[in-house]
Amino acid sequence: MKKIGKQTIVFSNPPSIIGNYSVVGPKEGNGNFSKYFDKILEDDKFGQDSYEKAERKMFLTAIEGAIKSCGMEKDDVDVLLAGDLMNQIISSNFAARQLQIPFLGMFGACSTMVESLIVGSMLIDGDFFGTVACATGSHFSSAEKQFRYPLELGTQRPPTSQWTVTGAGCSILSNKKSAVQVVKATIGKVVDWNVNDINNMGGAMAPAALETLYTFFEDTKTKPADYDLILTGDLGKIGSEVLRDLLEYRGYKLGSNYGDCGQMIYTNTQKVFQGGSGCGCVASVLNSYVLERIRTGKLKNVIVVATGALMSTLSSQQGDSIPTIAHLVLLKGGK
Amino acid sequence: MKKIGKQTIVFSNPPSIIGNYSVVGPKEGNGNFSKYFDKILEDDKFGQDSYEKAERKMFLTAIEGAIKSCGMEKDDVDVLLAGDLMNQIISSNFAARQLQIPFLGMFGACSTMVESLIVGSMLIDGDFFGTVACATGSHFSSAEKQFRYPLELGTQRPPTSQWTVTGAGCSILSNKKSAVQVVKATIGKVVDWNVNDINNMGGAMAPAALETLYTFFEDTKTKPADYDLILTGDLGKIGSEVLRDLLEYRGYKLGSNYGDCGQMIYTNTQKVFQGGSGCGCVASVLNSYVLERIRTGKLKNVIVVATGALMSTLSSQQGDSIPTIAHLVLLKGGK
């Protein structure tokens, strides 16, 4: 069995990430990672007549870009694993319709990028496929419309809120060797500490990151200092601080090697309060800056733990708190 | 590589289905499979204050029942694969919250049962886990509310419509041998023949079943007559006839060994027009009648191909046609 401890998998033939692509909106293009993104849109509608269609086109752009980045054709991809925040994951479904790659729909809210990487890595390590594409994305305007208020209302944002990243990312996993490998993974359990403020996602999701990181350190008998970088998906500023405190209380102190994609993606002057969120946050940061730093040898072992808030507007309206989850992969540099 | 032909997987150590459970609503309990279901609700609200919470409770009942059916505890299950029709798959998320089993959210609309069985089988055959729970379900009233009209309106149903099954089912996959094995699987591509009538799901989904069955027969060099039973998920009456015609046109004639869960679940007097649909349709029929018939040796090799319509209300409102998908597993009886 490749499972160790409670929830962690050690791959016997670690799959490689042989290709990747990121596409983001104009606001993200003005953020901290502008020089790392493959494509920055000038128009956040991407020439489409709705934000949902723009999201879908970003999805397609990311997947096609990632396939091209490793010199492949879409027919070379055995299966596409993708999901997104839109009801019934329509961005993924419609992208899969156009691509005509066998498709397995995933849903882990903002944890979907890592969920897909974990499942994809298992399918490659298990010798089912040679090439798997993993993709996700989000759009600020389609998410606001679906989960919060129509943008036209100009509703004031509370200080604990985060800004859904307009962006999509795709990684191509392969059984061939390359400079980035997926070596371990931890599948999360659903965690709910009874937070019901949908304007404080970081606070709601921090306990999920805590549980998954804690389980990973226990399962692997390692500690935070053993890694070059520990990256959460989109806890934002408050959420990251909450995670630091909680994890220290459980015996693991995060050092300066800890970062959060949501906190890092925008500059301090961009008025996004706690930072970025959404499936596109970790998807665009991982598939640009992070993979680039691993490929060039600047980072050697990187934990990516993506968190997701698993509520719907209806579950919130019916008075439920926010169930959350966090999935983790350990990436290793060097062939 | 365990992939043969274009899209089909042949398991090297076929996982077994060692446990299963089905729970259905009162209407389904009056249908053709009443004596096979594990639990029939007298009240389709299941003692809850909303249909969504009733759906969630059915989910939990199915998973707990399936775990118990093979003499296990929930801690013995390595991972739960589940998805449903509710926005952001909340029925699955909230069930996973209560169960505290590591969780991977899936979405394939009404194909989710088979999607989960395929992924679960790969995770077991790949030696990642020993025990995987696969679950899905749906509720007539929550689905009508979300996808169509408030029930209180009393909107007339068109003759091509199907009735969303109130029911949930769960299968427990294991690396231990038992009387039912998952031996092959085909992952579908998204198929869209430009149907945009959301009251004719069977017609929209039949082409997806066609493509996946055709690919499976080509990949495995077999024909319909080689199987005891070929079962589609929920094409209903029209959809099944469309599939028969289309498949015959492509060189494979379905005989009397073909059936459709949606067509079979209700009696002719139950006024459901084309028959049942929803994630709970194939989930409840598979996890009752079908597995029972395989276990008792009455069926030896059974193809289950579950179809899903991957649109959302928003994609339909924006004028899009209905993307569909079909995933297939081949089940074999005998140890």
| Predicted pLDDT at B36 | 98
Does B186 lie in the same domain as B129?
Answer: no
Whether B254 has its CB under 8 Å from any CB of chain A: the answer is: no
With CB atoms and an 8 Å threshold, state whether B189 touches A325: no
Lookup result for tokens 């990243």: A165
Q: How far is B30 from chain A (nearest CA, A)?
A: 30
Which pLDDT score is estimated for B132?
A: 98
Both tokens assigned to A25: 């909106």
**Between A87, A90, A318, which is nearest B52 by CB?**
A318
| Two structure tokens written together for B8 | 């089909």
Whether residues A133 and A188 share a domain: the answer is: no
Which of A90, A287, A320 is closest to A170 using CA atoms?
A287
Domain boundary among B155, B174, B193: B174
What CA–CA distances, in Å, run from B103 to A7, A108, B23, B118, B272? 10, 9, 21, 16, 34
B297-319, pLDDT tens digit by residue?
999 999 999 999 999 999 999 99
Confidence at A119, pLDDT banded by 50, 70, 90: very high
Residue A290 structure tokens: 């992070």
The pLDDT score that the predictor gives to residue A146 is: 96
For an interface test with B, which of A81, A104, A124 has the most B Cβ atoms less than 10 Å from its Cβ?
A104
For tokens 């139950």, the residue is: B270
| Nearest-angstrom CA–CA distance, B107 and B123 | 17
The pLDDT of residue B316: 95
Query: Positive or negative, the Cα torsion across B165, A101, A51, A164?
Result: positive
Q: What is the pLDDT of residue A49?
A: 96
B1 pLDDT exceeds 90? no
> Averaged over B255-274, what is the pLDDT?
96
Q: Are residues B19 and B89 in the same domain?
A: yes
Q: How far B130 CA sits from the closest chain A CA (Å)? A: 8
pLDDT in tens, B209-224: 999 999 999 999 999 9
Residues B7 and B150 in one domain: yes
Do residue A162 and residue A61 come from a single domain? yes
Specify the pLDDT at position A1: 84
Q: CA-nearest residue of chain A to B118?
A: A104
CB proximity list for B268: less than 8 A, separation 6 or greater: none
Residues of A in contact with B318 (CB under 8 A): 50, 52-53
Does any CB of chain A come closer than 8 Å to the CB of residue B311?
A: yes
Which of A139, A315, A316, A329 has the most B C-beta neighbours within 10 Å, making it the best mutation to test the interface with B? Answer: A315
The domain total for chain B is 2
How far apart CA A191 and CA B319 sit, in angstroms, is 38
pLDDT tens by residue, A1-13: 899 999 999 999 9
Using a CB–CB cutoff of 8 Å, tell me whether B235 touches chain A: no
Rounded-to-integer distance, Cα A306 and Cα B249, Å: 47
Same domain (yes/no): A292, A266: yes
Q: To probe the interface with A, which of B99, B128, B129, B147 has the most A CB atoms within 10 Å?
A: B128
The whole-number average pLDDT for the span A74-97 is 98
User: Does the pLDDT of residue A113 top 90, yes or no?
Assistant: yes
User: Mean pLDDT across the stretch B254-263?
Assistant: 98
Mean pLDDT of chain B: 97
ipTM tops the 0.90 cut: yes
- Tens digit of pLDDT for each residue in B56-71? 999 999 999 999 999 9
Q: Which three-class secondary structure string do you get for B191-224?
A: ECCCCCCCCCHHHHHHHHHHHHHHHHHHHHCCCH
Do B137 and B195 belong together in one domain? no
Structural domain including B20 reads: 3-174
Residues 6+ away with beta carbon under 8 Å from B221: none
For residues B254 and B281, membership in a common domain is answered with yes
> Pick from B212, B232, B250, B303: which is nearest to B7 by CA?
B212
> A128 CB near a chain B CB, below 8 Å?
yes
Entry pTM: 0.98
Burial of B292 (0-12, 13-18, 19+ CB in 10 A): middle
- pLDDT tens for B87-134 read 999 999 999 999 999 999 999 999 999 999 999 999 999 999 999 999
Mean pLDDT (chain A) is: 97
The CATH number of residue B267's host domain is: 3.40.47.40
Q: What percent of chain B has pLDDT over 70?
A: 100
Is A128 in contact with B9 (Cβ distance < 8 A)? yes
Domain boundary among A143, A174, A205: A174
Q: Which chain B residues touch A103 with a CB distance below 8 Å? A: 187-190, 325
Instruction: Give the Å distances, CA to CA, from B303 to A97, B14, B222, B253.
Output: 24, 15, 12, 15
Average pLDDT over residues A270-276: 95
Is-contact B141 B44, C-beta < 8 A?
yes
> Average pLDDT, stretch B9-28?
98
Nearest to A93 by CA among B90, B36, B320, B159: B320
- Please indicate, yes or no, whether residues A185 and A168 belong to a single structural domain of this protein: no
Per-residue pLDDT of B132-142, as tens digits, reads 999 999 999 99
pLDDT for the residue numbered B335: 63
Nearest Cα to A166, choosing from A128, A192, A140, A134? A140
**Which of A7, A22, A226, A252 shows the shortest CA–CA distance to A118?**
A7
> What are the start-end ranges of the E strands in chain A?
3-4, 8-10, 16-24, 39-40, 79-84, 103-105, 131-138, 163-164, 167-174, 180-186, 229-232, 258-260, 276-277, 301-309, 324-333
Do A12 and A141 lie in one domain? The reply is yes
Per-residue pLDDT, averaged over A164-176, amounts to 98
Contacting residues of A for B317, CB less than 8 Å apart: none
Note whether A126 contacts B125, CB cutoff 8 Å.
yes
| Count of residues making up chain A | 335
Predicted confidence (pLDDT) per residue in A278-305, tens digit: 999 999 999 999 999 999 999 999 999 9
